[in-house]
Structure 1
Amino acid sequence: MLKIHATKKLFEKLPVDNDGYLPRTERTEWLYDQPTLDINPLSGWHAHVVVLQRRNCILMAHDTTRFPLVLPTLTKPDFAELNDRFVDVFMNTLLKCGAEEAHLKAAHQYLRPLQIDTDCNRSVQGTLNRMKDEFEHLLYYDGLNIAEMTGYSAGAWLADTPRTVKGKGTLWPKRAMLELLSKLS
């Protein structure tokens, strides 16, 4: 499983069961068929729902690398398909960041269903707030319409921004995620 620490605002929008899992769908059945892992290095993401240009968007940041994901213009059915949307945005954002075949294979090997809880870390939440401000500025400055975006390029753009992490100094999310995937391949 991949642990997602959601804000309460996001958690209330997600159709999770008592264990925090989203419903199985045709698109996500393969995730549930994967063998369980004791330790998954891709696990541990924080997620927050924000409204930009009157559209629901989810911003995510990987706890260790601060690698960002942007899931724009979500509707109610998209929240139920969050497993599929996560895989799509994660893999395509990696591609936009210049990931090679070995990185993508390593990432695919560790993909599992999302398990949602509300345990949050203030440091990562601070990163999400900065990402929201930067993304909002990008939309305004470049005159972009969020309804016409996939989020891949925005995630790659945010991944090229250094992040300060308490006790670790400065991280470059793109570099940190690609190094993590290189170790896993």
Structure 2
Amino acid sequence: MLTIQCTKKLQDTLKVPMTDLTDLNNEPLYSWHAHLFLYKRKKCVLVMNNVSRYNFLLYGLKASDFKQLDQIVMEEMKRNMVAEGIDELTVHKYMKDCQSVTYTKTSERSIISQINEMISVVKYWMELREHEGKEINIDEFNRKLNRFVMLRLPKSYSGETMKDELQHL
């Protein structure tokens, strides 16, 4: 089961019941935090894994997208992991265990602070691209986000840490 821990802002937008986190017995690798933010009137969600801090950005979401956010998150998670160079068989095995999705409230302030840091980085990159007259490339940003140093991780980079964690499946 996949657990998406939503910030208050995302909870208000989703309008779905939140499961009590204490009722869940979920594997930490299958828990993700998600935060909604705006960039120039476009709704974006940054999703970050609780264990590896592997993260990706969902950009330009519409109201209808929030009705199927669980499906969008799983599709983008799979697509980003494969693009990151994680073996497709390993990704398939991980995704097989994510068939059901549960929404809960956030549980770790340190993850929220790292999400906010990544959002600041993304906004900076977007503004830089726009200033240079280039198109915003979310796939490029997602690759770069997971090569951002996070000192508390064993490998320092969330992409490498996620690859290592998935090898233990």
Letter in 2 for 1:178: K
Query: Do structure 1's residue 40 and structure 2's residue 27 form an aligned pair?
Result: yes
> 2-side partners of 1:68 and 1:155: how far apart?
7
* Residue among 142, 145, 162 paired with 1:155: 142
The percentage of aligned residue pairs carrying the same residue is: 22
Extract unaligned runs of 5+ from structure 1: 21-36
* Residue among 66, 74, 98 paired with 1:79: 66
RMSD (Å) for aligned C-alpha atoms: 2.2
Structure 1: 4+ residue segments shifted above 6 A: none
Q: Per-residue deviation at 1:171?
A: 3.0
Which aligned pairs between 1:129-148 and structure 2 lie closer than 5 A? Answer: 129-143=116-130, 145=135
> 1-side partners of 2:36 and 2:118: how far apart?
12
Which aligned pairs between 1:34-183 and structure 2 lie closer than 5 A? Answer: 39-143=26-130, 145=135, 151-165=138-152, 171-183=156-168
Q: Give the TM-score taking structure 2 as reference length.
A: 0.85
> 1-side partners of 2:129 and 2:72: how far apart?
25
Q: Give the TM-score taking structure 1 as reference length.
A: 0.78
Letter in 2 for 1:133: S
The alignment covers a number of residue pairs equal to: 163
Q: Per-residue deviation at 1:90?
A: 0.4
Q: Per-residue deviation at 1:109?
A: 2.2
Greater mean deviation of Cα atoms: 11-20 or 57-66:
11-20
Matched-pair contact (CA < 8 Å) for 2:149–2:157? yes
- 1:96-145 deviations in Å (ceiling 9; x for gaps): 21112232222222223321122331110111011001111111112255
> 1-side partners of 2:82 and 2:155: how far apart?
23
Distance 1:113 1:40, change over 3 A: same
Q: Higher helix share goes to which structure?
A: 2
Query: Do structure 1's residue 8 and structure 2's residue 8 form an aligned pair?
Result: yes
